[in-house]
């Protein structure tokens, strides 16, 4: 699968944009702040319903406008699919496939995209929340129904925390405790499913990460992944853990047990990467996580190869890592690369070049095929 054509209207700094694309490598070049990342962000938005740079949708709508449109024509072999997202400054966003409304979680049936950007360094060096998001996004990409489990878990968690605050304020009446029992059971059922899903995903992901790290870094370092959990993947054991911590939770008025407090542990040679990895090792680890994700999606995804996006990556890598990364991405049906200057892109990454300035597509060094 690949994106054959991308259209934007009132998206970020683009009033209108029309960009033919093709299989293989496309390099998008432009100084910082001109809009090159906005193009690949739009593709990621179609695939996931979210931006990798901002939490909400309002910054994606061009200033002074009420809505933005992102439209892409996709090619699945001989089959063409058109996806369109309408982002509204107020009101509900809409997603359509071939003119028919679909839910955002169904987008993965048509388009998978794996993007690596400088922000992904925080997955290795940052707080646990970033690593949880990495796992949950990949989990939902591979099993779309898990997006619903995540949404339901977060809703129950909010309700339970509200009840804990009320119980503390009212000195814990019997009715509050009885209601808490009901929410405990729902949290345990959803939380155990999420814990089990993450554990299975990490088990599948780990060997791919280890292989991708060595391919990029060119060093025989041992990379290990594991999960650090506060509760079991069995609903009954999860529920028992909740009950054991109830007095602490009532005192602090917050839920202390569950996947919202868990972490993905990443180790290099037996040491935590978050605190001991060098800058180069951290970059290689973050890249390995994304390349491993792409490999899993390639193996099991309904849409074939994911669109692989490398956003402003090569400027941070030394010559050896640049060359090895080129080797690692060769073979994907479509690879999109952004760079501030063309010299940042290794010579081995041969493809079409598109130049961007101030929200305008200036042209390309070659025209793509018909996709």
Task: Please provide the DSSP assignment of 314-351 as one string.
Answer: GGGS-HHHHHHHHHHHTT-SEEEEEESSGGGS-TTS--
Q: Are 153 and 189 in contact (CB under 8 A)?
A: no
Report which of 361, 359, 365 is spatially closest to residue 342, judged by C-alpha positions. Answer: 365
Secondary structure (DSSP) of 65-117:
-SEEEEEEEEEETTEEEEEEEEEESSS--EEEETTEE--GGGGGGT--EEEE-
Residues 6+ apart with CB under 8 A from 242: 184, 187, 188, 231, 249, 257
- In 203-215, which positions are buried (b, 16+ CB within 10 angstroms) versus exposed (e)? eebbebbbbbbbb
- Its pTM stands at 0.90
Query: Hey, what are 286's tokens?
Result: 């973050």
CATH classification of the domain holding 316: 3.40.50.300
Whether 121 maps to a domain, the answer reads no
pLDDT confidence of residue 130 = 94
Whether 118 maps to a domain, the answer reads no
Whole-number Å distance between alpha carbons of 173 and 177: 7
CATH classification of the domain holding 250: 1.20.1050.90
Within this chain, do residues 218 and 321 fall inside the same structural domain, yes or no?
Answer: no
**Domain containing residue 32:** 1-112+301-371
Structural domains of the chain, count: 2
Helix (H) or strand (E) holding 29: strand 24-29
Within this chain, do residues 2 and 28 fall inside the same structural domain, yes or no?
Answer: yes
pLDDT confidence of residue 366 = 47
Within this chain, do residues 146 and 290 fall inside the same structural domain, yes or no?
Answer: yes
Whether 122 maps to a domain, the answer reads no
pLDDT confidence of residue 1 = 87
Last residue in a domain, options 297, 324, 354:
297
Last residue in a domain, options 297, 318, 351:
297
pLDDT confidence of residue 36 = 93
Query: Hey, what are 361's tokens?
Result: 């597509």
pLDDT confidence of residue 173 = 54
Note down pLDDT in tens along the chain; length 371 residues: 899 999 999 999 999 999 999 999 999 999 988 999 999 999 999 998 889 888 889 999 999 999 999 999 999 888 899 999 999 998 899 999 999 999 887 888 889 999 999 889 999 999 999 999 999 999 998 888 899 999 999 999 999 999 998 887 776 554 567 788 899 999 999 999 999 999 999 999 999 999 999 999 887 789 999 999 999 899 999 999 999 999 899 899 999 999 999 999 999 999 999 999 998 899 999 999 999 999 999 987 666 789 999 999 888 888 888 999 999 998 899 999 999 998 888 888 888 999 998 888 887 664 433 33
The HSE-up count of residue 73 (CA atoms within 13 Å, CB side) is 14
């Amino acid at each position: 699968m690949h994106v054959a054509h991308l259209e934007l209207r009132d998206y970020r700094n683009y009033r209108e944009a029309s960009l033919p694309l093709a299989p293989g490598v496309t390099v998008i070049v432009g100084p910082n702040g001109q809009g090159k990342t906005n193009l690949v962000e739009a593709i990621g938005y179609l695939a996931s319903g979210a931006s990798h740079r901002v939490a909400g949708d309002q910054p994606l709508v061009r200033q002074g406008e009420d809505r933005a449109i992102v439209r892409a024509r996709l090619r699945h072999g001989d089959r063409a699919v058109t996806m369109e997202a309408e982002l509204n400054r107020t009101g509900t966003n809409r997603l359509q496939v071939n003119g028919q409304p679909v839910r955002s979680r169904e987008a993965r049936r048509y388009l998978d995209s794996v993007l690596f950007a400088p922000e992904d360094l925080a997955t290795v060096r940052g707080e646990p929340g970033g690593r949880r998001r990495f796992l949950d996004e990949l989990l939902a990409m591979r099993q779309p129904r898990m997006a619903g489990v995540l949404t339901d878990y977060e809703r129950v968690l909010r309700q339970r925390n509200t009840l804990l605050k009320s119980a503390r304020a009212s000195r814990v009446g019997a009715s509050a405790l009885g209601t808490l029992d009901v929410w405990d059971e729902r949290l345990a059922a959803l939380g155990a499913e999420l814990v089990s899903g993450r554990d299975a995903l990490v088990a599948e992901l780990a060997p791919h990460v280890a292989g991708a790290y060595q391919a990029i870094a060119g060093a025989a370092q041992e990379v290990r992944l594991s999960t650090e959990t506060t509760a079991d993947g069995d609903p009954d054991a999860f529920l028992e853990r909740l009950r054991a911590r109830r007095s602490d939770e009532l005192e602090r008025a917050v839920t202390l047990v569950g996947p919202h407090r868990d972490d993905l542990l990443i180790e290099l040679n037996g040491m935590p990467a978050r605190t001991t990895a060098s800058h180069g090792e951290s970059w290689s680890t973050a890249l390995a996580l994304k390349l491993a994700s792409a490999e899993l999606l390639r193996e099991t995804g309904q849409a074939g190869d994911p669109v692989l996006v490398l956003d402003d990556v090569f400027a941070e890598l030394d010559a050896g890592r640049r060359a090895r990364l080129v080797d690692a991405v060769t073979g994907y049906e479509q690879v999109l690369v952004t760079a501030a200057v063309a010299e940042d892109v290794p010579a081995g990454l041969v493809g079409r070049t598109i130049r961007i300035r101030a929200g305008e597509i200036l042209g390309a060094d070659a025209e793509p095929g018909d996709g």
